[in-house]
Amino acid sequence: MSLYEKVIKKPWPYWVGGILLALLNISLLITTGSAWSITTGLLYWAAAIAERLGIRPGEWYYFNFYEYGLKEGQTFLYNSYTVLNIAIILGALLAVLCAKEFKWKKVKNFKQFCFALGGGIIMGYGTRLSFGCNIGAYFSAIPSFSLQGWVFALFMFVGAWIGSKILFKFIL
List binders of other proteins among 26-45 (CB under 8 A): 26-39, 42-43, 45
Site for other proteins in 133-162 (CB under 8 A): 133-149, 151-162
The three-state secondary structure class of 106 is: coil
Choose which of 1, 2, 15, 169 interacts with other proteins (CB under 8 A): 15
60 in the Ramachandran plot: left (φ > 0), alpha (ψ -120 to 50) or beta?
beta
Q: Cβ(37)–Cβ(81) under 8 Å?
A: yes
> What would the x/- binding string for other proteins be over residues 69 to 98, using CB under 8 A?
-----------x--xxxxxxxxxxxxxxxx
How far apart, in whole angstroms, are the C-alpha atoms of residue 99 and residue 7?
A: 10
How far apart, in whole angstroms, are the C-alpha atoms of residue 27 and residue 34?
A: 10
Choose which of 5, 21, 75, 77 interacts with other proteins (CB under 8 A): 21
Residues in contact with other proteins, total (CB under 8 A)? 126
Question: Smallest distance, Å, CB 128 to other proteins?
Answer: 3
3 binds other proteins (CB under 8 A): no
Question: Smallest distance, Å, CB 93 to other proteins?
Answer: 4
Determine how many CB atoms are found less than 10 A away from the CB of residue 77.
Answer: 13
Q: Which is nearer to other proteins, 8 or 75 (CB)?
A: 8
The CA–CA distances, whole Å, from 11 to 6, 17, 98 equal 9, 10, 12
